A and B are shown apart, each in its own frame.
Chain A
């Protein structure tokens, strides 16, 4: 190999340290007093670890963590369900299509990959206001679904193209409609790619901040985990007994999910990237 063994091990240990220290601080300082965090942020606390701060953050009046979890999980599920209903059959038509317009439709649907949502958000507010959907959950869900259309189409089309045509042609000759063929024949085979899409899109929806903050707005009282943490932390950024526990509460569900599903997440990304 190009580098000596010691150099490689050293480089990887350094990298591991740089990546791990923030998560160590997040985990340990959420259980320490302000005095201990300031006196020795990296070390063990003189007053010992305590659950007090985490409990206080959980019961905080300003940021209803449990409510935010529920709302965010609902958004993740609703957006994924909508996206699957909308993009699944369309991906099937595109993957099996031989005409020019199929390719054009695919390119139009992928356009969103290249235009960041932040560049669109100002005119989208105007569109939502015109439709009477600004500040509403349906408005947010529709825009958020649109944002995950490109990745879903990209993954689904590549996967369906790898399914032999004979499978669904037999069903169609028997008189099944396209929609029925998709849901009855193709969809059951798509489990791995649907899981990948749901995980990646789910992470995107969970960690989205700008769109819920702007479309739902702080006035609506609807907080996701990210907008709730922002509201809770930004005002008190010097009180670390508030900052660390809130960050931990926001990060813990995705971290647990990530550790449990890491093979699927990283593996799904790798297979998705190779197919493209």
Chain B
């Protein structure tokens, strides 16, 4: 007893009577336990508010989406059970399959082009000059204005009587079907999406470039590496974590594209520019089939979870390769 108590209390207890000391130990243990409990309670009271909000508006809705997907909910009357009918319909719905394909194309093409442009422009405007900061402001402003206004702006530029077609007409030429032809509409939509979002990648890559130690690049150049070799062998490996962020963020962002398309084409012509999110909101609000919309939301969530895990897993390997 004496042994443990002196271990526990240390020098402070030296010179006290053994009986009083062991009592003190028991007492202080209880005190410490109470203090620890109080710390946890204290912690929880500060952690609770954001957890309640996330619980109420993120975690509960995930389960509510699952529940609603097995019902016919019109949004007005209480949901009635519908079994698997929404999912059966989903598997046969051409519109949904088309929108899934389009969403996949937007995500893949968009992510690749945004990364190439983002890194390329970041390399060009890295450094502190007036011109460079002007360029940074120029590539990033679409993000600040937001997708709905950007969508209307580009629709008044590329639309059938928009600025470019007006110019073509005034030259005596024919108009160009930026949004009237299904294929060109998809191309135009993707181009506007890239135009409005690659600025974020530029900023992220600029941040990454700042983490590259100057000495590393100098050493490579002194050793006789060309600028090209320095880029591939020195700069890019250091950027590995930045690249991960630059893939994850656009993929998640591109899977949810909605406002731009609403403002540019309203999903047309003939529904050929409808993404998955566009379909979800369209079916829910125009057709008041919220149960079916919920089933599509579940699909979207699953797609996003799988893709995110996949990217993180793949990228972890290349990040570890750098660390090694």
Interface positions of A (Cβ within 8 A of B): 1-2, 8, 11-12, 15-16, 18-23, 25-26, 29, 37-42, 85-87, 89-90, 92-94, 97, 102, 105, 108-109, 111-127, 142-143, 145-147, 149, 153, 177-179, 182, 203, 206-210, 214, 226, 229-230, 233, 237-238, 240, 243-244, 247, 250-251, 254-255, 257-259, 262-263, 265-266, 269-271, 273-274, 276
Also in contact, A266 and B140, with CB within 8 A (given A15-B121, A146-B57, A207-B146): yes
CA distance A115 to B141 in the complex (A): 25
The reply on B56 being an interface residue by CB < 8 A is yes
Q: How many residue pairs, one in A and one in B, have C-beta atoms under 8 Å apart?
A: 256
1/0 per residue, CB under 8 A from A, across B129-154: the answer is: 00101111111110111111100111
Q: Which B residues fall within an 8 A CB radius of A?
A: 42-43, 46-47, 49-51, 53-54, 56-62, 64-65, 68, 73, 75, 121, 124-125, 131, 133-141, 143-149, 152-157, 159, 161-164, 166-167, 170, 195, 203-204, 206-208, 210-211, 227-228, 231, 242, 245, 252, 255-256, 258-259, 263, 277, 280-281, 284-285, 290, 293-294, 297, 300-301, 304-305, 308
List residues of chain B with CB within 8 A of the CB of A15: 121, 135, 138-139
The B interface, classified by DSSP as helix, strand, loop or mixed, is helix
Chain B residues with CB below 8 A from A89, complex form: 46
Q: A92-B46, A114-B308, A153-B50 are in contact. List 15 more A-B contacts (CB 8 A).
A: A1-B227, A11-B124, A22-B154, A23-B141, A40-B170, A42-B163, A87-B50, A90-B47, A115-B58, A123-B62, A127-B60, A203-B146, A251-B145, A254-B145, A270-B207
CB distance from B121 to the nearest CB of A (A): 7
**What residue of chain A has the Cβ atom nearest to residue B204's Cβ?**
A273
A118 and B147 in contact, given A105-B51, A149-B54 (Cβ under 8 angstroms): no
Which residue on B lies nearest to A1, using beta carbons? B227
Asked if A122 meets B46 with Cβ closer than 8 Å, knowing A12-B124, A19-B138, A233-B152, the reply is no
Q: Which 8 pairs from chain A and chain B are nearest by CB?
A: A207-B146, A41-B163, A123-B61, A123-B64, A116-B256, A273-B207, A270-B207, A146-B57
Contact A258 B50 (CB under 8 A): no
Q: Is the CB of B281 within 8 A of A121?
A: yes
Closest partner residue, chain A, to B125 (CB atom): A12
A120 touches B166 (CB 8 A): no
Contact (Cβ within 8 A) A270 B210: yes
A111 to B136, CA, bound (A): 30
Contact A259 B46 (CB under 8 A): no
Partner of A109, one of B54, B162, B285: B54
Instruction: Give chain A's interface secondary structure class.
Output: helix
- When the two chains form the complex, which single residue of B54, B157, B277 contacts A119, counting CB atoms closer than 8 Å? B277
- Tell me the nearest residue of chain B to A177, going by C-beta: B42
Q: Chain A residue with minimal CB distance to B48?
A: A90
On chain A, the residues within 8 Å of B131 by CB distance are: 12
Give the docked Cα–Cα distance between A8 and B208 (Å). 21
The residue on A at minimum CB distance from B165 is A41
User: Could you say which of B148, B245, B297 contacts A122, with CB atoms under 8 Å apart?
Assistant: B297
Pick 28 A–B contacts, CB within 8 A, sort by A: A15-B121, A18-B195, A19-B141, A19-B195, A42-B163, A85-B49, A89-B46, A90-B49, A90-B51, A111-B58, A118-B280, A119-B256, A120-B297, A122-B68, A127-B61, A149-B53, A178-B42, A178-B46, A203-B146, A207-B144, A238-B161, A240-B156, A257-B144, A262-B133, A262-B137, A270-B203, A270-B207, A274-B207
Contact B149 A149 (CB under 8 A): no
Is the CB–CB distance between B297 and A123 below 8 Å? yes
> Would A229 and B206 count as touching, CB distance under 8 A?
no
Interfacial chain A residues near B206, Cβ < 8 Å: 270
B143:A119 contact, CB within 8 angstroms? no
Contact of A210 among B59, B65, B154, B281 (CB under 8 A): B281
Expressed in whole angstroms, the Cα–Cα distance for A123 and B281 within the complex equals 12
Q: Which residues of A contact B133 (CB under 8 A)?
A: 262-263, 266
List the A residue with the shortest CB-CB distance to B200: A269
A22 to B49, CA, bound (A): 43
Contact of B301 among A2, A115, A127 (CB under 8 A): A115
- Closest Cβ of chain A: how far from B293's Cβ, in Å? 5
A274, B53: Cα distance in complex, Å: 28
Q: How far is the CB of A12 from chain B (nearest CB, A)?
A: 6
A178 in contact with B43 (CB, 8 Å): yes
Interface contact A90-B203, CB-CB below 8 Å? no
> Which B residues lie within 8 Å of A26 (CB)?
153
Contact between chains at A12 and B153 (CB < 8 Å) = no
Contact B53 A230, beta carbon cutoff 8 Å: no
* Chain A residues closer than 8 Å to B136, beta-carbon distance: 262, 266
Contacts of A23 in B (CB 8 A): 141
A226 contacts which of B146, B155, B256, B277 (Cβ < 8 Å)? B146
Using Cβ atoms and an 8 Å threshold, which residues of chain B touch A37? 163, 166
Known: A210-B258, A266-B136. A229 touches B149 (CB 8 A): yes
Query: Chain A contacts of B162 at CB under 8 A?
Result: 41
Q: Are A116 and B277 in contact (CB under 8 A)?
A: yes
Across the interface, which residues of B come within 8 angstroms of A92, CB to CB? 46
> Is the beta-carbon distance between A20 and B138 smaller than 8 angstroms?
yes
Q: How far is the CA of A79 from the CA of B313 in the complex (A)?
A: 34
Partner of B153, one of A119, A247, A258: A247
CA distance A23 to B125 in the complex (A): 21
Given the interface pairs A15-B121, A244-B156, A273-B208, the reply to whether A210 lies near B259 with Cβ below 8 Å is yes
- Give Cα A148 to B266, complex, Å: 28
Q: B245 contacts A273, CB within 8 Å?
A: yes
